[in-house]
Every structure is written in C-alpha cells, then in structure tokens.
C-alpha cells in the first residue's frame, strides 16, 4: 500500500513574530520555521501503519529552505521515499493553488492513503487535505486520532468536541487529516538523522505551474488588540511564589 504524507513548515510561534514593511506579511527573515506538529503525527501514523503491514511511506514537501532536515528526520523514523517539489514557492502560495499542484503530482504516486496534518496555524484559506481529496476524487476525514486499515477501508477515530470520538469507515483511497497519531511521535537522535542523511536519497520533481488567483488576500496583519493584559509579577521564582500565595489568600483559594 502506498502511503503519502505531504509536509509543511510553519513559523515557530515561540519566536517573536515580526510584521514586514508591507504590513500584510510576516517578515520572512525574522521567522524560524519548523515542521507543522500535526505533520509529525501524520508521519508517525503512516509509519505505524507501515509497521503493521506491507506498505511504503512517501513524504512530499515543497523544496524550500529547511525542508531537507524534516525529510531526513522522517527517513530516520522509517519513511521510504523523500520527495521535494521544485517550484516558485518563494512568495508564499495559497492553499488552493498548492492543493492543485500537489494533487497533480501525488496522483502519479498512486496512493491508497494520503495523510496530511489536520491543519496548520497559518492558513487563511482552509486546510489542504480536503482540497486534495476533492481534486483526487477521494473522501476526506479530518481530526483523526487513530487509523486501522483493512480490505478497502480505513477505520478511523474522528474527534468531536468534548472528548467524543466517532469510529468511522472510510472507503480507500482516501485523504485523512491527522490530529494525533495513535502513539506519540517517536524520537530519533540527531546522530541517527545524520547517518540517514548519508544514505537516504532526496528525489526532486518539478511542480506544475502555480495558479494563485481567487484566494482571499491579507491586506493588513496586526497583533490582536488586547483588552486588559495580566498584571505581571516581577522578581525571581521565590518572589513570584510569595506574591502568588498572597493572591491565593486574598481570593479565598488558600
């Protein structure tokens, strides 16, 4: 069975986010990118499925700076093929345009199952997963936290609010948006990733022409206007703890 995992790098939110001179974009030079955490779960889920039966895991990413590390890490975890799509990714691309181009390419891999991360925090026009599904004529289920495959079906656990889970049948081939893998993503030591870099092959394919029209565009980016910010307690851990105990007393918590 062919399992395909498209992966995406997103801004690391722990870093300060800087708006560029245009006022409508994050300054790319100030960004640190990292793998979308849901993709880490999608990769893990794919590898777990591979380990349970025959199957090949292909990880696909746009050829942008920093993506090699993410691909090699996936290989160190057990991914079989690593593919970079070359194209004009520099100016950012909306998800609808991306989904068209990805669908075009992914179709050539004849996947039975495509596992995307359920979403990324910087989308403005919806997740790529359901869009890929439409292009490929496949069903889509997102917010998935567990997958079993048999016959021509995937049995998935889909999350609803409040902790309710639906067990669903999805006819293959299908696209699933992974929220969490069945097990926490495995850890691979850097040394193993380094070793993989020496042996694993990165394949590159050209992406089709991007057609970017039709999507909404950001005219203005801004930090949320905050109402009341928290009163910040100064000092070291000891001073803060002392003050907190007073506050807890005043509030009748202690």
Contacting other proteins within 8-27 (CB under 8 A): 11, 13-14, 16-17, 26
CB of 63 to ligand FAD, least distance (A): 26
Q: How far apart are the first and last CA of the chain?
A: 59
Place of tokens 């870093």: 15
- Give 70 or 85: the residue with its C-beta nearer to ligand FAD: 70
Q: How far is the CB of 9 from ligand FAD (least distance, A)?
A: 16
Return the bridge partners of 179, or none. none
Buried b (16+ CB within 10 A) or exposed e, 7-27: bbbbbeeeeeeeeeeeeeeee
86-115 binders of ligand AMP (CB under 6 A):
95, 98
Shortest Cβ distance from residue 36 to ligand AMP (Å)? 4
122 counts as binding other proteins under rule CB under 8 A: yes
The single residue among 45, 73, 116, 179 that binds ligand AMP, judged by CB under 6 A, is: 116
Q: Among residues 47, 62, 84, 174, which is the contact residue for ligand AMP, using CB under 6 A? A: 62
**CA distances (Å), origin 87, targets 61, 201, 206, 254:** 11, 19, 6, 60
Sites for ligand FAD among residues 124-163 (CB under 6 A) = 143
| Site membership for ligand AMP, residue 117 (CB under 6 A) | yes
Which member of 7, 9, 57, 118 binds ligand FAD (CB under 6 A)? 118
How many whole angstroms from its chain centre is CA 242? Answer: 41
By CB under 6 A, residue 6 contacts ligand AMP: yes
Residue placing its CB nearer to other proteins in the complex, 28 or 80: 28
Nearest CA to 41 out of 159, 134, 131, 126 is that of 159
Among 3, 7, 79, 176, binds ligand AMP (CB under 6 A): 7
Q: How many Å apart are CA 106 and CA 94, to the nearest integer?
A: 18
Angle at 127 between CA 109 and CA 104, to 5 degrees: 25
40: left (phi over 0), alpha (psi -120 to 50) or beta: alpha
Phi, psi of 67 (to 5 degrees): -80, -25
Q: Which stretch, 15-23, 71-79, 127-135, 238-246, contacts ligand AMP (CB under 6 A)?
A: 127-135
Q: Does 179 bind other proteins (CB under 8 A)?
A: yes
Binding status of residue 227 toward other proteins by CB under 8 A? yes
Token code pair at residue 235: 């000092």
Site residues (CB under 6 A) for ligand AMP? 6-8, 36, 38-39, 42, 61-62, 95, 98, 116-117, 119-120, 123, 127-129
């Amino acid at each position: 069975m062919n399992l395909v995992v498209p992966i995406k790098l997103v801004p690391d939110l722990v870093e300060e986010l800087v708006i560029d001179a245009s006022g409508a974009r994050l300054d790319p030079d100030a960004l640190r990118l990292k793998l979308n955490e849901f993709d880490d779960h999608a990769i893990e889920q794919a590898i777990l499925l591979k380990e349970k039966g025959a199957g090949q895991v292909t990880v696909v990413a746009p050829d942008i700076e920093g993506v090699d590390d993410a691909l090699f890490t996936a290989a160190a975890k057990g991914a079989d093929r690593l593919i970079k799509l070359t194209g004009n990714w520099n100016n950012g691309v909306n998800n609808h345009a991306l989904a068209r181009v990805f669908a075009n390419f992914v179709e050539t891999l004849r996947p039975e199952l495509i596992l995307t991360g359920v979403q990324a925090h910087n989308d403005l026009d919806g997740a790529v997963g359901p869009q890929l599904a439409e292009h490929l004529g496949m069903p889509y289920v997102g917010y998935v936290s567990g997958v079993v495959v048999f016959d021509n079906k995937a049995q998935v656990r889909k999350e609803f609010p409040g902790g309710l889970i639906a067990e669903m049948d999805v006819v293959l081939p299908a696209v699933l948006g992974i929220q969490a893998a069945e097990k926490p993503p495995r850890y691979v030591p850097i040394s193993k990733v380094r070793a993989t870099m020496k042996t694993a092959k990165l394949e590159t394919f050209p992406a089709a022409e991007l057609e970017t029209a039709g999507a909404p565009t950001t005219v203005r980016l801004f930090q949320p206007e905050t109402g009341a910010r928290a009163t910040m307690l100064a000092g070291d851990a000891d001073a803060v703890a002392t003050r907190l105990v007073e506050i807890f007393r005043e509030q009748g918590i202690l």
